[in-house]
Amino acid sequence: MEQATADRTPDVASQSDGAAAQNPHGDAWGALTRTHAAIVQRLQEMLSAADFPPLPWYEVLAAVSEAPDERMKMGDLAEALVITRGGLTKLVDRLVKAGLLERTFCETDRRVSYATLTPAGRDLLAEMRPAVIAELEVAFSANLSVAQANELRKTLDSVRGSACGT
Amino acid sequence: MEQATADRTPDVASQSDGAAAQNPHGDAWGALTRTHAAIVQRLQEMLSAADFPPLPWYEVLAAVSEAPDERMKMGDLAEALVITRGGLTKLVDRLVKAGLLERTFCETDRRVSYATLTPAGRDLLAEMRPAVIAELEVAFSANLSVAQANELRKTLDSVRGSACGT
DNA sequence: CAGAAATGCTTGTAGATACAACTATTGCTT
DNA sequence: AAGCAATAGTTGTATCTACAAGCATTTCTG
């Protein structure tokens, strides 16, 4: 039997979804999307199985935790996560309701509000982080040397550079 | 002024969202997510500006168009797009309503249904494809040689391999 | 220093996605 | 051949996200 009546597709990705398979670089894009989707799916399954909050919550907590004073302006946070501001407002609302974040305000500019990590948020992040890292290790470390991973990162960064700028 | 009252974050991605920045490979994952998000965002903006349907519609049409007889089993399609079956049913519903796809059925197994390209779907795809490819060229060809793109594809495929197959 | 423009965030609403339950058909076991 | 399990797809519901409009605050300009 299949563990439940789950709806998820069983992981195996087809070799070519044809997203622009004409140009010489199209396959690179296809590989990028499929790999991204596969890892996200894997992370989400792991989090759900471990009774952890969903991936976006982790991403918020992780981003905030690395900012100075463990707080981040809403706008910067939306930008870092590449989601809309409106979406972030509601996402942070949920984390606040769960006690993982709190909103704090800026003295000098009363428009800005910060998402600030609470002790509970810090604790949860400390629990989740090893699990997430372990999952990523499976995907990356297993088949890639550190040098290869660095090369991959550099290549992706340069692609993003030309995709963003202009 | 900002072209409208758009909500989107203005493209610039921060250098480190900290999604697991501990491990040596974590940065590669960060680069992967950010690059993916940046390109998807760019594609969506382009499609919306050109009054084309959203990206998932293109992905469906492109996938189906490359399958034998321009038709694909629902399950295979969901798998190729890495979305749930339930989600795909509704997505295909919309494309059918728009006249771009039609459902056809299998003679030998009456459970399966195919999403089949209509002439209108083929025409629309022919219009959209050059625009999508051009956008990808900007991101990939601009900064990557064909050899580098191939290397990138191979690396990503190996990562996906270890992420999928246990 | 007033008024207009820009900035930062939130809210209302509609659309899309996932999850779980359900139906229908096929395959397997005895 | 009967019955149970597996497979293929759809549907109901809740959640999440984007888009667009809105409010509050700050900055720019004459």
Per-residue pLDDT tens digits for A18-42: 444 455 666 889 899 999 999 999 9
Half-sphere exposure of residue A30, counting CA atoms within 13 Å on the CB side?
A: 23
Chain A residues with CB inside 8 Å of B143's CB? Answer: 158-159, 161-162
Q: Specify the pLDDT at position B151.
A: 86
Distance, CA of B81 to CA of B83 (rounded, Å): 6
| Interface contact A34-B62, CB threshold 8 A | no
Q: How far apart are CA A133 and CA B108, in angstroms?
A: 46
Q: What's the whole-model pTM score? A: 0.85
- In which region does residue B158 sit, left (phi positive, over 0), alpha (psi from -120 to 50) or beta (all else)? alpha
pLDDT tens track for B16-27 = 444 444 556 668
Alpha carbon distance B166, B155 (integer Å): 18
- Write out pLDDT tens, residues A83-134: 999 999 999 999 999 999 999 999 999 999 999 999 999 999 999 999 999 9
The better pLDDT of the pair B8, A91 is held by A91
Q: Reply yes or no on whether the pLDDT at B101 is more than 50.
A: yes
From the CA of A58 to the C1' of C5: give the distance in Å: 37
Q: What is the C-alpha to C-alpha distance for residues B115 and B134, in angstroms, rounded to an integer?
A: 27
Tokens of B165: 């197959």
Q: Hey, what are A85's tokens? A: 């501001």
Q: Quick check: A11 and B155 CB within 8 A? A: no
**Chain A residue numbers touching B137 (CB-CB < 8 A):** 23, 25
Do B3 and A155 contact (CB within 8 A), yes or no?
no
Q: How far is the CA of A4 from the C1' of D6 (A)?
A: 13
Q: How far is the CA of A44 from the CAs of A40, A90, A110, A165, in angstroms?
A: 6, 20, 37, 31
| Model confidence at A8: pLDDT above 70 | no
